[in-house]
Amino acid sequence: MKEIVPPPPALVQNRHAEVRELFERHVVPSYGRFDLVFARGQGSYLWDAGGRRYLDLGGGIAVCSLGHAHPEITQALIDQSQRLVHISNLYYHEPQGRLAERIVSHLAPGKVFFCNSGAEANEGLYKLARKFGHDEGRFEVLTAFNSFHGRTLGGIAATGQDKVKKGFEPAVAGFRHVPFNDLEAVRQALSPATAAVLIEGIQGEGGISPATAEYLLGLRRLCDERRLLLLMDGVQCGHFRTGRFQSFQRILEGVPGAEGFLPDGLSMAKSLGGGFPMGAFWIRSRMHGVELADLLGPGTHGTTYGGTPLGCAVALKVFEVIAREGLADHVRTLGAWFRGELEGLVKDYPTVLKSVRGLGFMLGLELRLREEVPGLSGSDKPASTQVIQRLHDAGLLTIPSGAQIVRFLPALNLGKPQAEEGLEILAKVARSLA
């Protein structure tokens, strides 16, 4: 970045300290937070309490799909809040019906349930699997190692990472994990109690690992043969992040035999609401001889806030802007360019950077092991945390994924100049470590 940022005035420095103090005294310390206090945002930039500007390539962990303070989101919030904010799911209202229609139009005939987060959306899929298998005594859901499905008790049972489970035993029953992208492992793991398989199209927290086309098609065949539900978690990799509505649509593009591929259930959240807390799951229509989308009948599932007029109005606006501005194609084009540039950085700084992975605007830059990089080996913090800290100091926000990966999940409307600015900062930090 070209500009030299002057140190913030003392008064604002105090505000930073004051906010930190409030958190230390009153907020549950369940997050390892970076030492940054943000005050406002605009597009792909955030400003901290001292007035310093940062380029945001993390997008609030893939949530701020149109960036910060998007004027059309603001207007949608104002307009809808002047009409109707919440009525509960005891009644009908138009925005929820329209949003469900919009989601279905990007997938295939089916129905949508609205909730408030990714973990809650996945909970709905677990309940769908249990209802589906119930009369045959089946209840088990197979998920992948290194997956991430949320922090509820069901979510941590489903997640294939020990670190989220530790200390919270006993785990919710009915989940087992298999290696990702290994069809034979799924086949071997099936038991008479298995009702469903749940995977991410691209593992996000697990290090930006895309499913292969063969794996997806193989799982579909296996689920058809064995009358299992194929469930997909599109919370992070969905909503046009890969240049198509869902990552499986992108992964399977042009693959022979993939034309009719569909999961039986799909969870969504993060980018769906563009910053408004919102989750949803889609259920496919008739499947395995049952009307799957009607399995969760009256009284079987619910949530007070799910699909409020306000949330749905915002999500509809996000869909509208993405379509009108052609952001899916933009993500595809700029994402491919950005990925190419990252690969260039790996070539230029091979002692610091190892590889690039991902699709569209869901990219990961793999770092060398901490011990291999002299500038990182002196600290016991993971390589990703240390590099991200240096990027912060240089004015760039990114997201760690495990110990080795720096993740990019920018707003879908990120501009090329901002992408270039981010690359300059990355090059500068890589150079300082090489």
Ligand X SMILES: *Cc1c(COP(=O)(O)O)cnc(C)c1O
The contact set with ligand X (CB under 6 A) reads 117-119, 122, 148-150, 200, 204-205, 233, 235-236, 269
- The backbone region for 365, taken as left when phi is positive above 0, alpha when psi lies in -120 to 50, beta otherwise, is beta
Query: Token match 């919102």: residue?
Result: 278
φ/ψ of 57, rounded to 5, equals -105, 15
The minimum distance between CB 143 and ligand X, in angstroms, equals: 11
Tokens describing residue 1: 């970045």
- Of 48 and 200, CB closest to ligand X: 200
- Of 269 and 397, CB closest to ligand X: 269
Strands 362-367 vs 265-268: parallel, antiparallel or unpaired: unpaired
Let me know if 67 is exposed, middle or buried by CB neighbors in 10 A (0-12, 13-18, 19+).
buried
- Of 116 and 413, CB closest to ligand X: 116
- Of 149 and 177, CB closest to ligand X: 149
Q: Which helix (H) or strand (E) holds 16?
A: helix 10-26
The minimum distance between CB 269 and ligand X, in angstroms, equals: 5
The minimum distance between CB 236 and ligand X, in angstroms, equals: 3
- N residues, the chain: 434
Ranked by CB distance to ligand X, the top (closest) residue is 118
DSSP 372-390: G-HHHHTSSS-HHHHHHHH
Calpha distance 69→416 (Å, rounded): 19
The minimum distance between CB 221 and ligand X, in angstroms, equals: 24
Calpha distance 348→427 (Å, rounded): 9
The minimum distance between CB 91 and ligand X, in angstroms, equals: 26
Residues in a beta bridge with 396: 55
The minimum distance between CB 16 and ligand X, in angstroms, equals: 26
- Of 199 and 313, CB closest to ligand X: 199
- Of 48 and 233, CB closest to ligand X: 233
